[in-house]
Amino acid sequence: MTSDIVKPLTEWYERNRRDLPWRRTADPYRIWVSEIMLQQTRVEAAVGYYERFTDELPNIRALAECGDDRLLKLWEGLGYYSRARNLKRAAEMIVEEMDGTFPDDPETIRTLPGVGNYTAGAVASIAFGKVCPAVDGNVLRVWARYTGYEGNVLSARAKKLAEQEIFRVMVESAEGSGERAFSPGDFNQALIETGALICSPNTEPRCSECPLSADCAALRDSSWDRIPLREKKTARRAEKRTVLLVLDGNRAAVRRRPDTGLLGGLYEFPNVSGSMSFEETVAYLRRGGYDSLHIEKLRSARHIFSHVEWDMSGYLVRIASSEGGRYDWFFAEPEMLGKNIPIASAFSAYAAYLGIIIGKGRLKT
């Protein structure tokens, strides 16, 4: 890869870039928030979340002072709540230790909670024009195809190689930029955009429209369907769970998950490990002090996390009364669940029985 890619790539970007809200600002806070969201969901879904988040929390101080429940609500449906918590912790750090000013160099940005090489590079280059790479999955795919890299792109080695090579191209371009100044932020976003719009992951890439087609190894060798090679290290563990939609009148049982671990701090419908029968479910409820009036099977659902997959079966259970129950549940009106009590999106199939829609778009999780 040489700096010959820069001119066609950035010219293509100028003509084809999508008009996205985080591209209309130079505010590092907003760019950072968008980059964290984009690690979680697709661009189309991120737009709404981004606008709501930045309307409600327009600057670092507002985020640092935001209550946990409000933050949870703003993040609801995006998954990985730990990312939102890291955003807040980082905002607190910036306010307390950096005078409330977002740091402008990638090394300092990298020290913020939840920020890795990619995010640091993206924010430093887009908001501050720093010469540093921002290699996400899109960029890794473009790089691997363009250079004909046949190794595993999920390895640390591949990421490092891509970062080194792209950094070298950026340094060359910044030093030699002639009549038009080199923009590191536009260059990184041009690579991201090429990965998103042209060099697509699962369908045939649109090579005839690609600004990098002149010297692309995968196009030359017809190897786009073999590159990038993605070999996952660990297999995902499948876990059966039984989800209980326990209703006392129109109020549903919910509980809060522990702060740490999977879905930390989010609310959920009661659920237990394993696939329970009708009888086991009734007995489980009785042990908790609840008498079942009516029980019916609900549809099964699956939710995929990074290391575990939940294969869920569910029951709707009407109980005589929630008084005197011994489990750590409380009973909430469906309107509260929609508004003030964020239910983890893993349970969206069951929330739908109460008319509650969780999340707006398809998630990457």
Look up 35 and say whether it is catalytic: yes
- Residue 38 engages ligand ADE in binding (rule: CB under 6 A): yes
CB of 38 to ligand ADE, least distance (A): 4
Between residues 64 and 191, which has the closer beta carbon with respect to ligand ADE? 191
CB of 88 to ligand ADE, least distance (A): 21
Look at phi and psi of residue 343 and say left if phi exceeds 0, alpha if psi is from -120 to 50, else beta: beta
Residue among 35, 163, 165, 193 flagged as catalytic: 35
Applying CB under 6 A, among 6, 35, 121, 143 the residue interacting with ligand ADE is 35
Between residues 45 and 312, which has the closer beta carbon with respect to ligand ADE? 45
- Residue 43 engages ligand ADE in binding (rule: CB under 6 A): yes
Long-range contacts of 213-218 (CB under 8 A, 24+ apart): 214/8, 215/4, 215/5, 215/146, 216/145, 216/146, 217/145, 217/146, 217/147, 217/148, 218/144, 218/145, 218/146, 218/148
Host H or E run for residue 237? strand 237-248
- Residue 186 engages ligand ADE in binding (rule: CB under 6 A): no
Applying CB under 6 A, among 76, 136, 186, 248 the residue interacting with ligand ADE is 136
CB of 227 to ligand ADE, least distance (A): 20
156-176 and 117-128 helices cross at what angle (nearest 10)? 20
> How far is the C-alpha of 71 from the C-alpha of 315, rounded, in Å?
30
Residues 187-216 that bind ligand ADE (CB under 6 A): 189, 192, 196
- Residue 76 engages ligand ADE in binding (rule: CB under 6 A): no
Could you give the C-alpha distances from 271 to 34, 235, 257, 330, in angstroms and in order? 33, 24, 11, 14
Sites of contact with ligand ADE (CB under 6 A): 20, 35, 38, 43, 122, 136, 189, 192, 196
Catalytic residues, by residue number, are 35
